[in-house]
């Protein structure tokens, strides 16, 4: 039995920490908003710590799922000295690859292992324990953390050294951006052509156009409902770090940059907290003819 700590009980972290409680390990959580941690403790057997430093004391593995690079630095760097040597830090936050490399160096100084482990699958994936986890770090640290993460994952893969997980997540977001925009344009085209978009998907959904986004979002997109999954604000954060990395490695991202502009327009029409499939609403509102 291992002692585990989980820092960050947001949309993803809340259910992920809950799944850890079913593994037979001891789980202690911390969240910057204390009432969220208290609500979590009312439905899960884990303990709530009063501070991040208290949560990580004595933990064998510390999991974090925070917001952005500054959030991770603010929470993680001050607690590294409180973690025990030989423990492992697993960061599920989607961040820059540079931050992952920075954390790998900082943890090594304290004789702590590190895995950057961003996830894909959205809120539903977290709730159902069906996330895809892309990892970077040393093989030995991955081998220790992987069986524990299995409780909320359908797929876990080590992609290389520290930062490789974040780079793989960037590829994931590049692909999603293009697919969602294509689906939005297709469904909007169907509506303009006088077709029932749901019936169109029934006709084409088993062919080459099929995608996870089509399977899971076509109905809500047709209905104009965007309260599912990953928010536009967070997608733009992910695309920002992706485009910054592309500037450094020379990879052209013309479609990704264009879709990022479209998401900015979604924010401007009030959709900052809508899910990423709201690209279709941009088409409807900006070209309502």
Neighbour tally for 171: CB within 10 Å: 13
Entry pTM: 0.94
Q: What one-character DSSP code corresponds to residue 84?
A: P
Place of tokens 């809120």: 123
pLDDT band at 228 (very low <50, low <70, confident <90, very high): confident
CA 26, chain centre distance (Å): 24
What's the mean pLDDT in 22-45?
Answer: 95
**pLDDT at 286 (0 to 100):** 82
Does 250 have pLDDT greater than 80? yes
Question: Can you give the pLDDT at residue 273?
Answer: 96
Q: Mean per-residue pLDDT for 143-159? A: 98
Tell me what pLDDT residue 45 has: 94
Residues 110-131 have pLDDT tens digits of: 999 999 999 999 899 999 999 9
Give the per-residue pLDDT at 288: 60
Q: Is 70 exceeded by the pLDDT of residue 289? A: no
Contact between 93 and 72 under an 8 Å Cβ cutoff? The reply is: yes
Distance CA 75, CA 48 (A): 16
State mean pLDDT over 166-186: 98
**Domains present along the chain, CATH in parentheses:** 3-160 (3.40.50.720), 167-286 (1.10.1040.10)
- From 138, 234, 217, select the one nearest 182 (Cα to Cα): 217
Q: Active-site residues: which are they?
A: 169
Whether the CB-CB separation of 286 and 239 falls below 8 Å is answered with no
Under the banding of pLDDT at 50, 70 and 90, the label for residue 283 is: very high
pLDDT value at residue 130: 97
The pLDDT tens digits for 55-93 are 999 999 999 999 999 999 999 999 999 999 999 999 999
- What is the average pLDDT across 26-38? 97
pLDDT of residue 1: 79
Q: Mean pLDDT score of the chain, rounded to an integer?
A: 96
């Amino acid at each position: 039995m291992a002692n585990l700590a989980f820092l960050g009980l947001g949309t993803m972290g809340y259910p992920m920490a809950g799944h850890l409680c079913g593994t037979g390990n001891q789980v202690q959580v911390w969240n910057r908003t204390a009432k969220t941690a208290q609500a979590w403790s009312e439905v899960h057997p884990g303990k709530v710590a009063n501070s991040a430093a208290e949560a990580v004391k004595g933990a064998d593995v510390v999991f974090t799922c925070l917001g952005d690079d500054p959030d991770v630095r603010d929470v993680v760097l001050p607690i590294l000295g409180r973690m025990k040597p030989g423990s492992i830090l697993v960061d599920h936050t989607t961040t820059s690859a540079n931050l992952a490399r920075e954390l790998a160096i900082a943890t090594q100084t304290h004789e702590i292992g590190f895995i950057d482990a961003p996830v894909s699958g959205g809120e539903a994936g977290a709730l159902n324990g069906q996330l895809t986890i892309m990892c970077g770090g040393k093989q030995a640290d991955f081998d220790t953390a992987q069986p524990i993460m299995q409780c909320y994952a359908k797929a876990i893969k080590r992609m290389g050294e520290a930062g490789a997980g974040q780079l793989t997540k960037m590829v994931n977001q590049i692909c999603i951006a293009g697919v969602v925009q294509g689906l939005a344009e297709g469904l909007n085209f169907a509506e303009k052509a006088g077709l029932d978009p749901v019936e169109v998907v029934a006709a084409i959904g088993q062919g080459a156009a099929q995608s996870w986004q089509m399977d899971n979002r076509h109905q809500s997109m047709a209905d104009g409902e965007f309260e599912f999954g990953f928010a536009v604000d967070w997608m733009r954060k992910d695309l920002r770090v992706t485009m910054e990395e592309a500037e450094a490695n020379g990879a052209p991202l013309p479609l990704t940059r264009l879709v990022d502009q479209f998401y900015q327009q979604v924010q401007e029409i009030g959709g900052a907290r809508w899910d990423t499939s709201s690209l279709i609403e941009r088409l409807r509102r900006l070209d309502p003819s």
